[in-house]
Structure 1
Amino acid sequence: MMKSKTPLTALLCAGTMLAAQAQTTPGPRVEAGLWEINMSIKSQTGKAEMAMRQAQAYIASLPPAQRKQVEEVMAQQGVKLGDKSSTVNACITKEDAERGTIPQQAGDCTQDVLEKTATSMKVKFSCTTNPPASGEAVVDFQSPTAYTSRGIVDTVVLGQNERVSVEQTGRWLGAECGSVRPLGK
């Protein structure tokens, strides 16, 4: 879409990370397949929301053929942008679900599980994306097909440090991922 990653990209990458390697405590069980993740954000200064609006305006300003191409690529990945909330589809492989791991979305992120129970996880993450992002999140699993999470992401938005609250709901859509690539691949 754009040559460099936007603050929106960093938020989407950080926002879709759920957990890392399974530890000795059994963690939540999740279904493999296609997940729809709805994210809402609230920043201290409103700049993250402004960056989302700018990304939308950028796409709208593209020549029709290029805009159509960008919108098709986004639709294939299940990405829908909103001012304060966005939706992204994510694919979890059967192997990752069986191992109790959910890989991170961006390969340039690391994450640690701070706490894990049968129904929740607390994770800490750090991404060397441009701009960089780091934070913590708590993920509560209502079932193998639904979760909610809340987290804090520290990043740079429009050239200034910003702390963004991210709330998510995730729901399993089905076993087949279609054109959506598995996370971490």
Structure 2
Amino acid sequence: MKLHTALACLLLVAGAGTASAQNMKPGLWEISTQMKGSGQMGDAMAQAQKQMENLPPDQRKMMQDMMAKQGVQLGNNSGGGMTIKVCMTQEMVDRNEVGRQEPGCTHTYSQRTGNTMQFSYVCTKPPSSGEGQITFASPEAYNMKMTSTTTVQGAPQKIEMQNNGRWLGGDCGTIKPLAMPKK
């Protein structure tokens, strides 16, 4: 269970929270994620995806509804990845933040140089850290590469992640914005 918790936290922290909102449009964003992991993390990612695919339609809908209440929609992505939809408000853009900052996590962003920016993060629960680079194609698209290290059941695990974010439109529909921490 700790392994699944670590995986879920990593997805929320990294997938929905690492891109800086510099010059990004508010509205509905789709973030496609491809991950490669070592050891138990890699096995857990493959197992979680297989379990989601094998859920009966009513259970899959219940899981999707539960996540939608938290501002996240999951869908399958070609190549074994996942797709997350996130609603970004104008406040998030103005505060230069995309996703929810999880308790116990510290993010550091470098100054943007041209269309690229470096970042890093450190979290205490689960213990993890990572660094990466975001390349902005436009206010409606970005690419991110990141490497993370976490500890699961006493063993270090390494995860490589690639995200592609694209703006879908100004209307978020039924997807609610993620709750932002007070500054």
Q: TM-score, normalised by structure 1?
A: 0.77
SS of the equivalent of 2:74 reads coil
Find the partner of 1:162 among 157, 164, 171: 157
In 2, Cα distance between equivalents of 1:63 and 1:167: 29
What amino acid is aligned across from residue 167 of structure 2 in structure 1? Answer: W
Structure 1 partner of 2:113: 117
Distance in 1 (alpha carbons) for counterparts of 2:62 and 2:2 = 15
Q: In structure 2, what residue type is equivalent to 1:29? A: N
Match of 1:6, SS? helix
Question: How many correspondences in the alignment?
Answer: 175
SS in 1 for 2:48: helix
What secondary structure does 1:179 align onto?
A: coil
Please give the alpha-carbon distance, in whole angstroms, between the structure 2 residues aligned to 1:153 and 1:146: 23
* Unaligned residue ranges in structure 2 (runs of 5+): none
- Residue number among 35, 57, 70 corresponding to 2:63 in the alignment: 70
The separation in 2 between residues aligned to 1:182 and 1:49, in whole angstroms, is: 29
C-alpha displacement at 1:73, in angstroms?
3.2
Post-superposition offset of 1:164? 0.8
Structure 1 residue 66 displacement after superposition: 4.2
Measure, in 2, the Cα distance between the counterparts of 1:176 and 1:3.
36
Matched, 1:15 2:9: no
Do the aligned partners of 1:74 and 1:80 also contact (CA within 8 Å) in 2? no
1:144 Cα deviation (Å)? 0.2
Amino acid at match of 2:117: M
2:85 matches 1:86: no
Q: TM-score, normalization: structure 2?
A: 0.78
Specify whether residues 115 and 53 from structure 1 end up closer, same or farther in structure 2 by C-alpha distance, changes over 3 A only: same
- Segments of structure 1 that go 5 or more residues without pairing to the other structure are 21-26
State which of 36, 41, 49 in structure 2 corresponds to 1:42.
36
What does the per-residue CA deviation read over 1:41-68, in whole Å, with 9 as the maximum and x for residues that have no partner? 11234x3332123224545676875444
